[in-house]
Amino acid sequence: MPPDPKKVRALQLNVEGLFKLLGGSPDERLRFWEIIKGITTPVELRLVNAQVDALAAQAKAVQAGAKSLQTSAQQIARRG
């Protein structure tokens, strides 16, 4: 069973936003997705399906934390 396209797209958007926030280059983002898409054997695909959910949750949490940190830094900079 292939990964759920909606979950993969949501993960891609979360990671894309994180890379943009952290300054990753388009080539780095492309390389990451080529690695993920290159895993095609059935056993690996089942593992990837499980990891897509876990990675999506982690990416979302990291992105939220990075945005919060950015907001806090901007507020501190305005006060200083």
Q: Are 33 and 14 in contact (CB under 8 A)?
A: no
Rounded distance between C-alpha atoms, residue 3 and residue 26, angstroms? 23
Q: Which residue has the higher pLDDT, 21 or 14?
A: 14
pLDDT in tens, 32-56: 667 766 655 566 667 777 888 888 8
Report which of 28, 22, 10 is spatially closest to residue 67, judged by C-alpha positions.
22
- Tokens for 70, please give them: 């950015």
> Left if phi > 0, otherwise alpha if psi is -120 to 50, otherwise beta: which for 2?
beta
Would you kindly state where each structural domain of the chain is located, as residue ranges? 5-79
